[in-house]
Structure 1
């Protein structure tokens, strides 16, 4: 299928989004990088050391990406191509900006593009969010801890107990969150026991 980014392929890899360089259109908007005619270099760093850079030039309805890329230690290859933009209206007025994924046959409307041979959406690179790699028990524990934080309760699920209703919270909301917390805690504890049983060689 032709159109936006026709001829550009992604190199698929099983990974998570946190491991890949990315460009977030919301950040570009906040930094004024979507203003027509702006041209700026942005960099990525790790541990205080720059690990990559890219030049971004803004034009009406699109941004131009300009950078170098190499695959598995090969020769550096220059890359320069447009990423077309789209907007959708916000409920409270104004518009929300989106990238249109440039990978061939995609064109999805996305807020973040991830780096590789080209910058493309996470669907094209088959990237998972970190939460999608969690075990069910770990996910349940994280969700239960989120409720505990909202309630102002100390510790994690192993602290147990009901530490009381936060001031100003409706009783109906409090009871609903308590029931959800208890169900998630039970699920998380089952996951912990399963893990301990596997480590002990019972299964």
Structure 2
């Protein structure tokens, strides 16, 4: 099982590279009761890839897990055990929302998600980018077009042409989504053409 702090070396990580600990999900599962102890797991393809033990106290949660220290001691494993403070804010329509207070030294940001490196900390402290920030413009356009195709009920894949208006959708909505789809497809195809060395209106000469 991969440990916290182990994994890819070099380059900037993004939020998908580290295990998220989302206090909103924990709260929705009714686990933020003082005195409660439980394990939180991460899975991939139905296999457990990581586990952390949590103990809830008043106003904070104690984290306990094993982490591989890649900076010292030749990558030896160490036991991590430290508290993370909780904070609650009022919602506009009643009720309260729970937050972590980032435990990294000098931080204390109010966040919903902590990311598990050697220490669970906020995105800013880990200097994490979102996956979309690392996408090329044409890849991002392709993803957006496919998302629109899914909403329109069309076959996945921007090379599969367009489909009909979904039943029950207003024509104005359909036309707006259609235009957004076509604009993203145009951007995606332009990026593909650039990658393949295709110039506007002509092909480069190839030597055979």
Answer yes or no: same fold by TM over 0.5.
yes
Counterparts of 1:49 and 1:138, CA distance in 2: 29
Structure 1: gaps of 5 or more residues: 1-11
2:188 corresponds to 1:188: yes
2:161 corresponds to 1:175: no
Per-residue CA deviations over 1:99-130 (Å, capped at 9, x if unaligned) read 11111222222111111221101111111222
> Pairwise CA RMSD of aligned residues?
2.4
Is the Cα–Cα contact under 8 Å of residues 56 and 66 in structure 1 kept in the other structure? yes
Counterparts of 1:62 and 1:181, CA distance in 2: 46
Counterparts of 1:102 and 1:132, CA distance in 2: 25
SS at match of 1:177: helix
Q: CA deviation at 1:74?
A: 3.1
Equivalent of residue 65 in structure 1, options 57, 63, 66 = 63
Counterparts of 2:183 and 2:33, CA distance in 1: 49
2:57 corresponds to 1:42: no
1:113 alignment counterpart:
114
2:95 alignment counterpart:
94
Counterparts of 1:49 and 1:164, CA distance in 2: 40
Is the Cα–Cα contact under 8 Å of residues 69 and 78 in structure 1 kept in the other structure? yes
Q: Which has the higher contact order (CA 8 A, sep 6+)?
A: 1
Counterparts of 2:77 and 2:173, CA distance in 1: 57
2:53 corresponds to 1:55: yes
Q: CA deviation at 1:147?
A: 0.9
Per-residue CA deviations over 1:137-179 (Å, capped at 9, x if unaligned) read 0100110111111111223211223x22222222222221111
Cα distance change, pair 30–134 in 1 and its aligned pair in 2 (3 A): same
Q: CA deviation at 1:201?
A: 8.5
1:145 alignment counterpart:
146
2:29 corresponds to 1:28: no
TM-score (norm 2): 0.80
Is the Cα–Cα contact under 8 Å of residues 13 and 125 in structure 1 kept in the other structure? no
Counterparts of 1:101 and 1:140, CA distance in 2: 34
Structure 2: gaps of 5 or more residues: 1-9
Is the Cα–Cα contact under 8 Å of residues 102 and 119 in structure 1 kept in the other structure? yes
2:125 corresponds to 1:124: yes
